[in-house]
Amino acid sequence: MSWLWGNETTEQAQFVVSALQSELDERESKIKALEAALKREQQDMTSLLEDEVKELEARRKAIEKELAGVDALIKEKQRLIQKSKSDPLKKKKKKKSKTPVSSPRAAVVEEKPAAAANRKPKENGKEAVVSPKAKKKQQKKKKEASAASADVEQTENSKVLPMDKNLKVVAKEEPNVAFIIQRSNNSNTVVYAGVKSADGKSLDTTTPIKVYWIMYEKEGNPREDLNMIERNTAYGVTSKPSDVPGEHLASIASLRDRDCVLRLDKHGNVMALTTINGKKGMLLRRVFVQMTTSWGIPTVDFVDIFGVDPTTLEPVYEKKKNK
Protein backbone atom coordinates (compact mmCIF):
# COMPACT_ATOMS: atom_id res chain seq x y z
CA MET A 1 0.00 0.00 0.00
CA SER A 2 2.86 2.37 0.83
CA TRP A 3 4.47 1.56 -2.50
CA LEU A 4 1.33 2.64 -4.35
CA TRP A 5 1.17 5.83 -2.33
CA GLY A 6 4.75 6.56 -3.15
CA ASN A 7 4.08 6.34 -6.90
CA GLU A 8 1.10 8.68 -6.65
CA THR A 9 3.17 11.24 -4.78
CA THR A 10 5.82 11.12 -7.50
CA GLU A 11 3.25 11.60 -10.24
CA GLN A 12 1.72 14.54 -8.38
CA ALA A 13 5.14 16.13 -7.98
CA GLN A 14 5.84 15.66 -11.68
CA PHE A 15 2.48 17.21 -12.54
CA VAL A 16 3.23 20.23 -10.34
CA VAL A 17 6.66 20.62 -11.94
CA SER A 18 5.13 20.37 -15.40
CA ALA A 19 2.50 23.00 -14.53
CA LEU A 20 5.15 25.33 -13.14
CA GLN A 21 7.29 24.84 -16.25
CA SER A 22 4.32 25.69 -18.49
CA GLU A 23 3.65 28.84 -16.47
CA LEU A 24 7.32 29.81 -16.70
CA ASP A 25 7.28 29.25 -20.47
CA GLU A 26 4.15 31.37 -20.81
CA ARG A 27 5.65 34.17 -18.75
CA GLU A 28 8.86 33.99 -20.74
CA SER A 29 6.90 34.31 -24.00
CA LYS A 30 5.06 37.32 -22.57
CA ILE A 31 8.37 38.89 -21.56
CA LYS A 32 9.72 38.36 -25.08
CA ALA A 33 6.56 39.89 -26.57
CA LEU A 34 6.88 42.90 -24.26
CA GLU A 35 10.56 43.28 -25.16
CA ALA A 36 9.68 43.15 -28.87
CA ALA A 37 6.92 45.74 -28.39
CA LEU A 38 9.28 47.97 -26.42
CA LYS A 39 11.90 47.63 -29.14
CA ARG A 40 9.36 48.57 -31.82
CA GLU A 41 8.25 51.55 -29.77
CA GLN A 42 11.86 52.65 -29.36
CA GLN A 43 12.40 52.29 -33.10
CA ASP A 44 9.25 54.30 -33.83
CA MET A 45 10.33 56.99 -31.38
CA THR A 46 13.80 57.07 -32.94
CA SER A 47 12.27 57.36 -36.40
CA LEU A 48 10.01 60.21 -35.29
CA LEU A 49 12.92 61.99 -33.65
CA GLU A 50 14.98 61.59 -36.83
CA ASP A 51 12.10 63.03 -38.86
CA GLU A 52 11.87 65.97 -36.46
CA VAL A 53 15.62 66.55 -36.77
CA LYS A 54 15.34 66.52 -40.57
CA GLU A 55 12.40 68.92 -40.40
CA LEU A 56 14.31 71.26 -38.09
CA GLU A 57 17.35 71.14 -40.39
CA ALA A 58 15.16 71.98 -43.38
CA ARG A 59 13.61 74.82 -41.40
CA ARG A 60 17.07 76.08 -40.45
CA LYS A 61 18.15 76.05 -44.11
CA ALA A 62 15.01 77.95 -45.06
CA ILE A 63 15.70 80.54 -42.35
CA GLU A 64 19.32 80.86 -43.50
CA LYS A 65 18.12 81.36 -47.06
CA GLU A 66 15.63 83.98 -45.92
CA LEU A 67 18.31 85.76 -43.88
CA ALA A 68 20.57 85.80 -46.94
CA GLY A 69 17.77 87.46 -48.88
CA VAL A 70 17.28 89.99 -46.08
CA ASP A 71 21.02 90.79 -46.12
CA ALA A 72 20.83 91.36 -49.87
CA LEU A 73 17.85 93.70 -49.41
CA ILE A 74 19.68 95.62 -46.68
CA LYS A 75 22.71 96.10 -48.96
CA GLU A 76 20.47 97.28 -51.80
CA LYS A 77 18.68 99.77 -49.51
CA GLN A 78 22.03 101.06 -48.22
CA ARG A 79 23.22 101.53 -51.80
CA LEU A 80 20.08 103.53 -52.61
CA ILE A 81 20.60 105.64 -49.47
CA GLN A 82 24.18 106.46 -50.50
CA LYS A 83 23.02 107.27 -54.01
CA SER A 84 20.28 109.59 -52.75
CA LYS A 85 22.82 111.37 -50.54
CA SER A 86 25.31 111.85 -53.37
CA ASP A 87 22.76 113.16 -55.93
CA PRO A 88 21.97 116.45 -54.08
CA LEU A 89 25.70 117.20 -53.87
CA LYS A 90 26.02 116.87 -57.65
CA LYS A 91 23.05 119.20 -58.17
CA LYS A 92 24.58 121.81 -55.87
CA LYS A 93 27.85 121.71 -57.82
CA LYS A 94 25.97 122.24 -61.08
CA LYS A 95 24.16 125.25 -59.60
CA LYS A 96 27.44 126.81 -58.47
CA SER A 97 28.92 126.64 -62.00
CA LYS A 98 28.60 129.92 -63.93
CA THR A 99 25.96 130.18 -66.62
CA PRO A 100 27.08 131.86 -69.87
CA VAL A 101 25.63 135.32 -70.51
CA SER A 102 23.80 135.36 -73.81
CA SER A 103 23.26 138.38 -76.00
CA PRO A 104 19.79 139.87 -76.49
CA ARG A 105 19.76 138.47 -79.99
CA ALA A 106 20.56 134.98 -78.72
CA ALA A 107 17.79 135.31 -76.15
CA VAL A 108 15.36 136.08 -78.93
CA VAL A 109 16.55 133.05 -80.89
CA GLU A 110 16.18 130.82 -77.80
CA GLU A 111 12.76 132.24 -77.11
CA LYS A 112 11.38 130.99 -80.41
CA PRO A 113 11.25 127.25 -79.49
CA ALA A 114 9.50 128.12 -76.23
CA ALA A 115 6.95 130.19 -78.09
CA ALA A 116 6.47 127.35 -80.56
CA ALA A 117 5.77 125.00 -77.67
CA ASN A 118 2.90 127.24 -76.55
CA ARG A 119 1.28 127.18 -79.98
CA LYS A 120 -1.44 124.79 -80.97
CA PRO A 121 -1.46 123.05 -84.38
CA LYS A 122 -2.58 125.19 -87.31
CA GLU A 123 -6.31 125.53 -87.70
CA ASN A 124 -7.49 126.65 -91.17
CA GLY A 125 -3.97 127.77 -92.00
CA LYS A 126 -3.62 129.88 -88.85
CA GLU A 127 -1.65 129.10 -85.75
CA ALA A 128 -3.61 129.14 -82.48
CA VAL A 129 -1.48 130.50 -79.62
CA VAL A 130 -2.10 128.97 -76.17
CA SER A 131 -2.39 131.53 -73.42
CA PRO A 132 -0.48 131.03 -70.13
CA LYS A 133 -3.82 130.60 -68.31
CA ALA A 134 -4.94 127.82 -70.67
CA LYS A 135 -1.53 126.19 -70.37
CA LYS A 136 -1.87 126.11 -66.55
CA LYS A 137 -5.29 124.45 -66.90
CA GLN A 138 -3.82 121.78 -69.18
CA GLN A 139 -1.00 121.09 -66.73
CA LYS A 140 -3.51 120.87 -63.87
CA LYS A 141 -5.62 118.34 -65.80
CA LYS A 142 -2.54 116.24 -66.54
CA LYS A 143 -1.58 116.21 -62.84
CA GLU A 144 -5.12 115.21 -61.82
CA ALA A 145 -5.17 112.40 -64.40
CA SER A 146 -1.79 111.06 -63.27
CA ALA A 147 -2.89 111.24 -59.61
CA ALA A 148 -6.12 109.37 -60.42
CA SER A 149 -4.21 106.63 -62.25
CA ALA A 150 -1.84 106.34 -59.28
CA ASP A 151 -4.81 105.96 -56.92
CA VAL A 152 -6.28 103.21 -59.11
CA GLU A 153 -2.93 101.41 -59.21
CA GLN A 154 -2.61 101.66 -55.43
CA THR A 155 -6.13 100.24 -54.98
CA GLU A 156 -5.32 97.30 -57.27
CA ASN A 157 -2.10 96.57 -55.40
CA SER A 158 -3.82 96.63 -51.99
CA LYS A 159 -6.46 94.04 -52.87
CA VAL A 160 -6.88 91.24 -50.33
CA LEU A 161 -8.75 87.97 -50.54
CA PRO A 162 -12.26 87.76 -49.01
CA MET A 163 -12.24 87.02 -45.26
CA ASP A 164 -14.87 86.44 -42.60
CA LYS A 165 -14.58 88.04 -39.15
CA ASN A 166 -12.72 85.03 -37.71
CA LEU A 167 -10.08 85.10 -40.42
CA LYS A 168 -9.68 88.88 -40.19
CA VAL A 169 -8.74 88.57 -36.51
CA VAL A 170 -5.97 86.10 -37.41
CA ALA A 171 -4.82 88.14 -40.43
CA LYS A 172 -3.99 91.06 -38.12
CA GLU A 173 -1.31 88.87 -36.51
CA GLU A 174 -0.39 86.77 -39.58
CA PRO A 175 -0.68 88.66 -42.91
CA ASN A 176 0.32 85.56 -44.93
CA VAL A 177 -2.46 83.37 -43.52
CA ALA A 178 -3.90 80.93 -46.08
CA PHE A 179 -6.65 79.38 -43.94
CA ILE A 180 -7.42 78.44 -40.33
CA ILE A 181 -8.96 75.58 -38.34
CA GLN A 182 -11.11 76.32 -35.27
CA ARG A 183 -12.89 74.01 -32.82
CA SER A 184 -16.06 74.26 -30.78
CA ASN A 185 -14.41 73.53 -27.41
CA ASN A 186 -12.29 76.73 -27.26
CA SER A 187 -11.07 79.72 -29.26
CA ASN A 188 -7.52 78.48 -29.84
CA THR A 189 -6.85 78.50 -33.59
CA VAL A 190 -4.61 76.47 -35.89
CA VAL A 191 -3.03 78.82 -38.45
CA TYR A 192 -1.80 77.72 -41.89
CA ALA A 193 0.44 80.52 -43.20
CA GLY A 194 2.42 80.75 -46.42
CA VAL A 195 6.20 81.12 -46.32
CA LYS A 196 7.40 83.40 -49.12
CA SER A 197 10.76 83.43 -50.86
CA ALA A 198 13.30 86.18 -50.20
CA ASP A 199 11.95 88.36 -53.04
CA GLY A 200 8.33 87.76 -51.96
CA LYS A 201 7.26 86.79 -55.49
CA SER A 202 6.72 83.07 -54.82
CA LEU A 203 6.40 80.53 -52.04
CA ASP A 204 9.52 79.06 -50.48
CA THR A 205 10.56 75.94 -52.39
CA THR A 206 11.56 73.99 -49.25
CA THR A 207 8.87 75.03 -46.76
CA PRO A 208 5.97 76.74 -48.57
CA ILE A 209 3.63 76.61 -45.55
CA LYS A 210 3.99 76.65 -41.77
CA VAL A 211 1.43 75.51 -39.17
CA TYR A 212 1.14 76.68 -35.57
CA TRP A 213 -1.34 77.51 -32.80
CA ILE A 214 -2.47 80.97 -31.72
CA MET A 215 -3.54 80.35 -28.12
CA TYR A 216 -6.37 82.86 -27.68
CA GLU A 217 -7.29 81.18 -24.38
CA LYS A 218 -3.96 82.31 -22.89
CA GLU A 219 -2.93 85.84 -21.96
CA GLY A 220 -1.12 87.63 -24.76
CA ASN A 221 -2.29 85.17 -27.46
CA PRO A 222 1.07 83.33 -27.65
CA ARG A 223 2.05 81.13 -30.58
CA GLU A 224 2.82 77.45 -30.02
CA ASP A 225 4.07 74.70 -32.32
CA LEU A 226 2.02 71.56 -32.94
CA ASN A 227 3.00 68.57 -30.85
CA MET A 228 3.98 65.25 -32.44
CA ILE A 229 0.48 63.74 -32.25
CA GLU A 230 -1.21 66.87 -33.65
CA ARG A 231 1.33 67.09 -36.45
CA ASN A 232 0.95 63.46 -37.52
CA THR A 233 -2.79 62.85 -37.04
CA ALA A 234 -4.87 66.02 -36.82
CA TYR A 235 -3.45 69.30 -38.11
CA GLY A 236 -0.16 68.55 -39.85
CA VAL A 237 0.51 69.23 -43.53
CA THR A 238 2.97 67.82 -46.05
CA SER A 239 3.82 69.45 -49.38
CA LYS A 240 5.83 68.95 -52.54
CA PRO A 241 6.47 71.12 -55.63
CA SER A 242 3.95 70.79 -58.44
CA ASP A 243 4.69 70.45 -62.15
CA VAL A 244 3.30 73.98 -62.50
CA PRO A 245 5.96 76.61 -61.63
CA GLY A 246 5.17 78.45 -58.39
CA GLU A 247 2.64 75.86 -57.19
CA HIS A 248 2.89 73.24 -54.43
CA LEU A 249 0.71 70.17 -53.78
CA ALA A 250 -0.28 69.91 -50.11
CA SER A 251 -1.88 67.14 -48.07
CA ILE A 252 -3.70 68.29 -44.93
CA ALA A 253 -4.14 65.73 -42.14
CA SER A 254 -7.68 66.85 -41.30
CA LEU A 255 -8.75 66.90 -44.99
CA ARG A 256 -7.05 63.80 -46.37
CA ASP A 257 -9.96 63.10 -48.73
CA ARG A 258 -9.06 66.02 -51.03
CA ASP A 259 -5.99 67.55 -52.67
CA CYS A 260 -4.87 71.12 -52.07
CA VAL A 261 -2.79 73.48 -54.23
CA LEU A 262 -0.74 76.30 -52.67
CA ARG A 263 0.30 79.37 -54.68
CA LEU A 264 0.37 83.18 -54.69
CA ASP A 265 -2.06 85.35 -56.64
CA LYS A 266 -0.94 88.42 -58.63
CA HIS A 267 -1.18 90.57 -55.49
CA GLY A 268 1.04 88.25 -53.43
CA ASN A 269 -1.80 86.77 -51.36
CA VAL A 270 -1.36 83.14 -50.27
CA MET A 271 -4.02 80.87 -51.78
CA ALA A 272 -5.00 77.32 -50.79
CA LEU A 273 -7.17 75.87 -53.56
CA THR A 274 -9.12 72.66 -52.96
CA THR A 275 -12.45 70.93 -53.63
CA ILE A 276 -15.41 72.24 -51.61
CA ASN A 277 -18.91 70.80 -52.03
CA GLY A 278 -17.83 69.06 -55.25
CA LYS A 279 -16.39 72.24 -56.81
CA LYS A 280 -12.69 72.05 -57.68
CA GLY A 281 -10.30 74.99 -57.40
CA MET A 282 -12.16 76.71 -54.57
CA LEU A 283 -10.31 79.03 -52.18
CA LEU A 284 -10.19 77.43 -48.70
CA ARG A 285 -10.65 80.03 -45.94
CA ARG A 286 -11.77 78.37 -42.69
CA VAL A 287 -12.54 74.94 -41.20
CA PHE A 288 -14.71 74.59 -38.09
CA VAL A 289 -14.77 71.32 -36.12
CA GLN A 290 -17.80 70.56 -33.92
CA MET A 291 -16.67 68.31 -31.06
CA THR A 292 -18.22 66.58 -28.05
CA THR A 293 -16.37 64.99 -25.14
CA SER A 294 -17.52 61.75 -23.53
CA TRP A 295 -15.59 60.21 -20.61
CA GLY A 296 -12.71 62.54 -21.40
CA ILE A 297 -12.44 61.37 -25.02
CA PRO A 298 -13.16 64.04 -27.72
CA THR A 299 -15.31 62.98 -30.67
CA VAL A 300 -15.83 64.88 -33.94
CA ASP A 301 -19.52 65.30 -34.81
CA PHE A 302 -19.13 67.24 -38.05
CA VAL A 303 -16.80 69.60 -39.91
CA ASP A 304 -17.84 72.87 -41.59
CA ILE A 305 -15.67 73.90 -44.56
CA PHE A 306 -15.92 77.55 -45.65
CA GLY A 307 -14.43 78.86 -48.89
CA VAL A 308 -14.76 81.33 -51.76
CA ASP A 309 -15.07 80.89 -55.51
CA PRO A 310 -11.94 82.74 -56.77
CA THR A 311 -13.67 83.69 -60.03
CA THR A 312 -17.02 85.02 -58.77
CA LEU A 313 -15.93 85.71 -55.14
CA GLU A 314 -19.15 83.98 -54.05
CA PRO A 315 -18.98 81.96 -50.79
CA VAL A 316 -18.94 78.15 -50.97
CA TYR A 317 -19.73 75.79 -48.09
CA GLU A 318 -19.61 72.09 -47.27
CA LYS A 319 -20.75 70.17 -44.18
CA LYS A 320 -18.78 66.98 -43.62
CA LYS A 321 -20.42 64.62 -41.12
CA ASN A 322 -18.44 62.08 -39.14
CA LYS A 323 -19.67 58.65 -40.22
CB atoms within 10 A of CB 237: 21
Kindly report, residue by residue over 34-68, the tens digit of the pLDDT. Answer: 888 888 878 878 877 887 788 788 878 878 877 88
Kindly report, residue by residue over 152-189, the tens digit of the pLDDT. Answer: 344 334 477 899 999 999 999 999 999 999 999 999 99
Kindly report, residue by residue over 75-119, the tens digit of the pLDDT. Answer: 877 887 887 777 666 655 565 555 454 444 444 444 444 444 445
- Measured in degrees and rounded to the nearest 5, phi and psi for residue 5 equal -65, -40
Q: What is the mean pLDDT of the chain?
A: 80
- Count of residues for the chain? 323
| pLDDT band, very low/low/confident/very high, at 123 (cuts 50, 70, 90) | very low
Burial (CB < 10 A; 0-12, 13-18, 19+), residue 318, is middle
Burial (CB < 10 A; 0-12, 13-18, 19+), residue 209, is buried
Domain ranges of the chain: 165-321
In the prediction, which pLDDT does 160 show?
79
